[in-house]
């Protein structure tokens, strides 16, 4: 049986939520990652940056924009080890049309040959943006399944949608 890993980055605290700023205790992407785990099993790996983004959502998005412009690779606390896994779900919020740059840090130096990559993202209307294309350029040698976009403000109510998609993706 294939071994599954769910790698994700998620933001708690201030988030953009249906046109305003709302503080949330659990990040939207983390919630979706847990729904995937509940449905298909697997191990969770949360990408955590060494230098945390600002608690202020507005400042955080400016930090994220600057990282994207610079093609920065923010240092993360621990690199995921994908070697023992066949299927890897990759989750993130859509920041400026793609994944947060810390996801590039976590994914770029991995050996993707023979792996199946299944992307998912949370957003407030921008969908997957260019993240699937970016993942394909990073994860050379991997097979890709169609990604899932979840409206962040609806993530708490998305369990059935996520479960159906995850089952179909495996």
Residue 1 has pLDDT above 60, yes or no: no
How many beta carbons lie within 10 A of that of residue 3, not counting itself? 13
How many domains does the structure of the chain reveal?
1
CA-CA distance, 105 to 34, in Å (whole number)?
22
- The answer, yes or no, to whether residue 31 has pLDDT greater than 70, is yes
Domain extent, residue 140, equals 4-169
Q: What is the mean pLDDT of the chain?
A: 96
For residue 24, list its beta bridge partners: 13
CATH number of the domain residue 49 falls in: 3.40.50.360
CA–CA distance, 158 with 138 (Å, rounded to integer): 28
Output the pLDDT for position 112.
Answer: 98
What average pLDDT does range 60-86 have in this prediction?
A: 97
pLDDT tens sequence across 104-155: 999 999 999 999 999 999 999 899 999 999 999 999 999 999 999 999 999 9
Would you state the pLDDT for residue 2? 76
- What pTM does this model have? 0.97
pLDDT score at 108:
97
For residue 148, what pLDDT is reported?
98
* pLDDT tens track for 48-69: 999 999 999 999 999 999 999 9
pLDDT number for residue 126: 92
């Amino acid at each position: 049986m294939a071994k599954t890993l769910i790698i994700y980055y998620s933001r708690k605290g201030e988030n953009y939520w249906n046109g305003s700023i709302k503080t949330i205790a659990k990040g939207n992407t983390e919630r979706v990652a847990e729904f995937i785990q509940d449905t298909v099993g697997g191990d969770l790996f949360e990408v955590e940056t060494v230098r945390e983004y600002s608690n202020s959502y507005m400042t955080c998005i400016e930090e994220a924009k600057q990282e994207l412009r610079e093609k920065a690779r923010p240092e993360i606390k621990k690199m995921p080890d994908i070697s023992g896994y066949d299927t890897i779900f990759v989750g993130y919020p859509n920041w400026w049309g793609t994944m947060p740059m810390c996801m590039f840090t976590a994914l770029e130096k991995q050996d993707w040959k023979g792996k199946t990559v299944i992307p998912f993202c949370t957003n407030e209307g921008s969908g997957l943006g260019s993240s699937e294309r970016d993942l394909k350029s990073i994860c050379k040698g991997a097979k890709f399944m169609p990604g899932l976009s979840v409206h962040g403000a609806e993530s708490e109510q998305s369990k059935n949608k996520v479960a159906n998609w995850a089952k179909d993706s495996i």
